[in-house]
Amino acid sequence: MPPMPPMGPGSRKGGPQGARLTMEKPKNAGATLKKLIKYIGKNKYLFFALIAIMLIITLLNLAAPMIQQIAIDCITITKKRISVDFSGLGKTLVLLGIVYLFSSLFTFLQGICSARLSQYTVKTMRRDLFKNLVRLPIKYLDTHNHGDIMSRMTNDVENISTTVSQSIGSLISGILTIVGTIVIMLIYSPILTLISLSTIFLTIFVSAFLTKFMKKYFVQQQILLGQLNGHVEEMVTGYKTVVSYSKEKDACDDFEKMSNELKKCAVKAQIYGGVMGPCMNLISNFGFILIAAFGGWLAIKGHITIGTIQAFILYSKQFSRPINEIANQYANIQTAIAGAERIFDVMDADKEKDEPKAVFDTENVKGNIIFKDINFSYVPEKPVLNDLDLEVKAGQKIAIVGATGSGKTTIVNLLTRFYPIDSGEITIDGQSIYDIPKDDLRRSIAIVLQDTVLFSASIADNIRYGKADATLDDINKAAAFANADEFIERLPEGYDTLLTEGGSNLSQGQRQLLSIARAVLADPKILILDEATSSVDTRTEMNIQSAMVALMKNRTSLIIAHRLSTIRDADKIVVIDAGKVAEEGSHEELINKKGCYYDLYQTQFSGVKT
């Protein structure tokens, strides 16, 4: 089996993710942002509708201060009297009310469009992520923390959803508002415009300073969250092991340490994220003071009216508001970019290659298998198989035995193309397995693993997993063939019994019987049994053995065996030692040789090596 990262109960790092704690910012934020924008723009109708709505809202918001200025200038104040143009003032106020009414209406529509766009975006992204996930090679899942992968599918995607919903409208509105406001301000007073823009340099300096710290802590926060999820997932799946070794305190201590790291990082991230808004508001207020002071001086000189000062202050607020909003949303944007990069890391990972060069007739597979000069290693410079040669003839029942770590299961992993070989060739009926379409290859092989895998569905659906179009009668026959029908019929709902996660509401032996029934239903040309009867009692094992004899008839069968008593009747027993075929022959032949197999047999049955 491949060497696994340190992911067992009590492990803190949870695999290679631990090494990523030193990363302070996205590897390539620009490229990640481009990919994210492509996903946002996939629903062009919603995206352009949102832009159109934001443009209308911006125009209405830009018109409001201008209308207010006209209303104020309808009132004339002199030393002797105050004169009011009531007709003009009334019309102006009505127009202002209409502008505010439509602004509220389109703001409501903007919220609807933003919500729809965010959900469409994350739905598409989640779909693509899952599609890419199921196309990854087994090696990727064997070497990455499962909890961290789940965190990318859930937490990171949800962060993107929140950001798109809350921030995309602010960004579009902000850009349009800034451009429109500058144009109108220049029309009103170029001098006041320059004074108002003088605070921009201070804004850029402060935001750049705070951004440097925010990137660091928000990216690190997502990594730590993924590790914490990974630890919890390990504790749940390995709970019995934790309890049996009385490691509850250690598990809690590890969780507490990881949780404290996450808390410290999250506090710093939120502090730097939260301080951005108040800093921007302080700078904006300082700008208002400058405008009021210089505007008053210009009004005294008769260059502008009081209404113009009022309008200019409002435009100045409109100019600073989107900058402040973007600053306030920056924390969410950074979190979304960090999460998007983690998602795209999975999407961009090398997929399982499949470049078939020949047609493979799955209906007429004979099952002649040849391993020739096979070299393979899970980790470079640590070979598992060395120049291995093995021939399996059609219809043969071959048992593969050897010490733990000798490479037995690796042979199965290579035959099914779970891992690519380093060198050599594997053929089925004379065709290289790399010239055969991957789906056709695996459709011709059925595997019963030592560790059963069942899904949260009915018993019938779990058996039907071996053949999607199987009828209930086919399922019943397969269950009877595997001697599983007896316990299934005793259940209150029979074949309609729903299994909980991993089939935990059944015994280990019952789960194994269902996995064997699934293989029976698949009706494979090549059958692989990885100690398929290890989890059943002696009586059930005898029943399964008799069923296996019938199942393996006229099929090429590879049996990974640990209990040597189960493979005495094999056509050929192959002993793997140090990554090579050390011996092969029948049980009697190998016992008479008194070599590796004899030593294994004596050790297992007498407890003494002779």
Nearest to 25 by CA among 229, 281, 214: 214
pLDDT given at position 12: 35
Q: Decide if 368 contacts 393 (C-beta within 8 A).
A: yes
Whether the CA torsion 571, 575, 579, 581 is positive or negative: it is negative
pLDDT at 162 over 70: yes
- Per DSSP, the residues of 190-253 read HHHHHHHHHHHHHHHHHHHHHHHHHHHHHHHHHHHHHHHHHHHHHHHHTHHHHHHTT-HHHHHH
Q: Decide if 528 contacts 448 (C-beta within 8 A).
A: yes
pLDDT given at position 102: 92
pLDDT given at position 532: 62
What's the CA angle centered on 275, arms 274 and 281, to 5 degrees? Answer: 110
- In the three-class reduction of DSSP (H, G, I as helix; E, B as strand; rest coil), residue 162 is classed as helix
- Phi, psi for 337 (deg, rounded to 5): -65, -40
What element of type H or E holds 375? strand 369-376
What span, in angstroms and rounded, lies between the C-alpha atoms of 34 and 96? 40
Nearest to 517 by CA among 485, 486, 549, 542: 485
pLDDT at 270 over 60: yes
What span, in angstroms and rounded, lies between the C-alpha atoms of 448 and 463? 12
Q: What are the CA-CA distances from residue 38 to residues 254, 315, 486 (Å)?
A: 40, 33, 55
pLDDT given at position 544: 65
pLDDT given at position 1: 40
pLDDT at 311 over 80: no
> pLDDT band at residue 543, thresholds of 50, 70 and 90?
low
Q: What are 392's strand-pairing partners? A: 369
The domains of the chain, with CATH numbers, are 27-347 (1.20.1560.10), 358-444+564-610 (3.40.50.300)
CB contact set of 159 (below 8 Å; sequence gap of 6+): 222, 332, 335, 336, 339
What span, in angstroms and rounded, lies between the C-alpha atoms of 333 and 104? 26
Q: Could you tell me the two tokens for 25?
A: 């910012």
Q: Decide if 315 contacts 181 (C-beta within 8 A).
A: yes
Q: Could you tell me the two tokens for 550?
A: 């019938």
8-22, 144-158, 257-271: least confident range: 8-22
> pLDDT band at residue 84, thresholds of 50, 70 and 90?
low
Percentage of residues of the chain with pLDDT beyond 90 = 2
> pLDDT band at residue 333, thresholds of 50, 70 and 90?
confident
Residue-wise pLDDT for 229-245, tens only, equals 878 877 877 777 777 76
pLDDT given at position 540: 62
- Per DSSP, the residues of 257-295 read HHHHHHHHHHHHHHHHHHHHHHHHHHHHHHHHHHHHHHH
Mean pLDDT, residues 316-324 taken together: 73
- In the three-class reduction of DSSP (H, G, I as helix; E, B as strand; rest coil), residue 14 is classed as coil
> Which residue type is seen at 16?
P
Q: What are the CA-CA distances from residue 473 to residues 28, 48, 478 (Å)?
A: 56, 54, 9
Highest mean pLDDT among 59-73, 157-171, 279-293, 581-595: 581-595
- Per DSSP, the residues of 90-111 read HHHHHHHHHHHHHHHHHHHHHH
pLDDT given at position 485: 86
Q: Please classify residue 551 by burial: count the beta carbons closer than 10 Å to its beta carbon, then call 0-12 exposed, 13-18 middle and 19+ buried.
A: buried
Q: Decide if 227 contacts 148 (C-beta within 8 A).
A: yes
Mean pLDDT, residues 44-57 taken together: 88
Interstrand relation of 580-585 and 572-577 (parallel, antiparallel or unpaired): antiparallel
Q: Could you tell me the two tokens for 135?
A: 């196309």
Q: Decide if 504 contacts 240 (C-beta within 8 A).
A: no
pLDDT given at position 536: 59
Mean pLDDT, residues 202-213 taken together: 74
pLDDT at 11 over 60: no
pLDDT at 363 over 80: no
pTM summary value: 0.64
Beta strands in 430-555 (DSSP E): 431-432, 445-448, 526-530
pLDDT at 95 over 70: yes
pLDDT at 506 over 60: yes
> pLDDT band at residue 19, thresholds of 50, 70 and 90?
very low
8-22, 89-103, 195-209, 426-440: least confident range: 8-22
Q: How many angstroms separate the most distant Cα atoms in the chain? A: 129
Nearest to 387 by CA among 360, 413, 407: 407
What element of type H or E holds 548? helix 538-551
Mean pLDDT, residues 481-492 taken together: 85
Q: Could you tell me the two tokens for 568?
A: 């005495």
What span, in angstroms and rounded, lies between the C-alpha atoms of 366 and 106? 69
pLDDT at 9 over 70: no
pLDDT given at position 334: 77
Nearest to 410 by CA among 439, 396, 390: 390
Residue-wise pLDDT for 389-406, tens only, equals 999 888 888 888 888 778
Highest mean pLDDT among 97-106, 295-304, 315-324, 569-578: 97-106
Q: Decide if 484 contacts 565 (C-beta within 8 A).
A: no
251-255, 284-288, 398-402: least confident range: 284-288
Round the average pLDDT of the chain to a whole number and report it. Answer: 79
What span, in angstroms and rounded, lies between the C-alpha atoms of 494 and 472? 12
What span, in angstroms and rounded, lies between the C-alpha atoms of 475 and 457? 15
Q: Could you tell me the two tokens for 167?
A: 């921030």
User: Helix 86-133 crosses helix 44-73 at what angle (to 10 degrees)?
Assistant: 160
> pLDDT band at residue 425, thresholds of 50, 70 and 90?
very high
pLDDT at 24 over 60: no
> pLDDT band at residue 547, thresholds of 50, 70 and 90?
low
What span, in angstroms and rounded, lies between the C-alpha atoms of 509 and 103? 67
What span, in angstroms and rounded, lies between the C-alpha atoms of 541 and 534? 8
